[in-house]
Structure 1
């Protein structure tokens, strides 16, 4: 199969993409259970005669063509999805608001992107004509805890990936080219007072109300605009959890025996998402400065940022050839893993960000086709 770069793809190509997506979504692979789908991917590319490497439940398919070496482009996606619901367990084609969509768990996040990557990689005419060597990187563990994400392990165990000219992470981007990504910190703030009887609060100090001033500040000032390379990002501060250790009300708050206790300790989880104008260490110092000694601070999770790298020639080439809107990635993605090893990376995919993890998750077929055309426009263009 070889697709052109125009917008009028044949019905057979459209049907091929939809069929691929239905097949890919039929194998549900929640985080931690990617083994079977990894087996399927390995078997597919082994049968096609490709060189396949497996790291855990992640798969790398090496499409390099030897000498003369060409710039290497990685087509990157994660295999896992969040748990399905009864509204998206069965992959199917439906009509929504007059448009044809594929409904399935992972349809937008991010199996539609995986399908485009696989279809392009399997197009031998495209690979022969392309100025780039291609490799597929389909990895496990993206939707779970950061330490279980296998991409970092893949990049460590397959060292030639770190020499790539570009990594295209086909996460859902609403058809935009989304550059860079936010970094992130989760920190537990502990406000320490003195526990007391609620009838005689002067015998202690209420740790919960001690946190009030800080929380009010977050309510007033939790979004700040930051521009990096002419691209608008936003710093975001969010209090996402709060609790009084040992005094939780339980399932029936009205019957709790500890409602008359002034808490001596109150803990708040703060999630700071920061623009790629600075690194993790600077962001952590900024967080501690903002708390200003009012609570102890324990940073419990750190996610690195990724710069947009808009000035890189290959990123400029992608933006020019794809001819899609350019925006910031107002979230964290695995472009940050590539940034850690010095590989330029960007986010571009057909999925809808607003459909990620939704009940009845879907992707429009028109978006799938349009992204396929634009991705191929870059892969077929002169380097």
Structure 2
């Protein structure tokens, strides 16, 4: 396999790393290439945990910034190798990972190689298993094994944001809402009580629910409460005695997980509710001095991040963090995933100008 050429343009680097398949659980080949490429850079101290690579400058600066990106993707569906396309006269790079989030990783790799004298010390993190269960996430493992590597005053995650700054993120909760009945033969349905029919009241509450818009530190976060899965019944001739409606709640970062759970229980008052997964959100963090400087240097008005991202991990450690990367987040995981070449260049320009400003 050819080596990564970190002297190439960030666009060419995006092509190169996207064309190395790295579906979650199969990141080793790409991690090896990154490890080899940055390991050859004398100005960086490089360490590795599994398929997570960390590279740090050790210049003794007064402040340190952590810049992170995940190297895994969702499964490929006929959308590799990458190819160049044009839409309405604008050039794009098409293919799995171009948006989520190898274009951002490519920018980070190029800057890691070239910024030998940044204004702050830098910690670059390229990590595995972001697209799967949280307990497999490379940052989760790294925080357990090497918490010292997370030391920093500010963090930037290269998630796709259309080359705009997106502060914080919503929290994410999954809950099971259960209805119960009495099992019976469907030929004598009047003997039983149909749990699936009773679930209609759960769906009615969801259809009548109006999501909130919550202002947090100057940004408006849109919430969402939706049914995402329904399970009930055991056979085609049996009245079901149990129905489970899985509900997903995306909640504003001003709410704690306890507050979010109470809200879900209030909405479904009278039903059996079991919270099965929760990830707290992250406040925007835009009041931190480094965050204000970064936003000013990039020159874009900050927006909220509606989906959950790993900025929440940094926020939980007391490190203010924002999302900033090329690509439209609505095309993440899409079979027509594609990134405007101009946004790759914009993100590189924005990070470079801020990290080298005197």
TM bucket normalised to smaller: over 0.9
Kindly report structure 1 stretches of 4+ aligned residues shifted beyond 3 Å.
Answer: 197-202
How do residues 132-281 of structure 1 correspond to structure 2 at under 5 angstroms?
A: 132-247=120-235, 258=236, 260-281=237-258
- Residue of structure 1 aligned with 2:25, choices 18, 22, 32: 32
Q: Secondary structure at the match of 1:226?
A: strand
- Residue of structure 2 aligned with 1:376, choices 349, 352, 355: 352
Mapped to 2, the partners of 1:101 and 1:14 lie a distance apart of 21
- Residue of structure 2 aligned with 1:56, choices 50, 53, 59: 50
CA drift of 1:194 comes to 1.1
Unaligned runs of at least 5 residues, structure 2: 1-5
Mapped to 1, the partners of 2:71 and 2:304 lie a distance apart of 24
Give a deviation string over 1:141-200, Cα, whole Å, max 9, x none: 001111111112212333333320111001001122111111111111221111234454
Q: Does the aligned pair in 2 maintain the 1:78–1:140 contact within 8 Å? A: yes
Q: Secondary structure at the match of 1:301?
A: strand
Unaligned runs of at least 5 residues, structure 1: 1-12, 248-257
Mapped to 1, the partners of 2:331 and 2:223 lie a distance apart of 23
Q: Secondary structure at the match of 2:9?
A: helix
Match of 1:123 in 2: 114
Q: Does the aligned pair in 2 maintain the 1:162–1:342 contact within 8 Å? A: no
Match of 1:78 in 2: 70
CA drift of 1:219 comes to 1.0
Q: Does the aligned pair in 2 maintain the 1:104–1:362 contact within 8 Å? A: yes
Q: Does the aligned pair in 2 maintain the 1:112–1:350 contact within 8 Å? A: yes
CA drift of 1:353 comes to 0.8
Mapped to 2, the partners of 1:369 and 1:218 lie a distance apart of 43
Mapped to 1, the partners of 2:193 and 2:143 lie a distance apart of 51
Q: Does the aligned pair in 1 maintain the 2:298–2:351 contact within 8 Å? A: yes
CA drift of 1:214 comes to 2.1
Mapped to 2, the partners of 1:289 and 1:299 lie a distance apart of 13
CA-based RMSD: 1.8
Mapped to 1, the partners of 2:263 and 2:7 lie a distance apart of 49
Q: How many residues get paired?
A: 352
Match of 2:89 in 1: 98
TM-score by length of 1: 0.88
Mapped to 1, the partners of 2:350 and 2:171 lie a distance apart of 28
Q: Does the aligned pair in 2 maintain the 1:240–1:269 contact within 8 Å? A: yes
- Residue of structure 2 aligned with 1:304, choices 254, 263, 280: 280
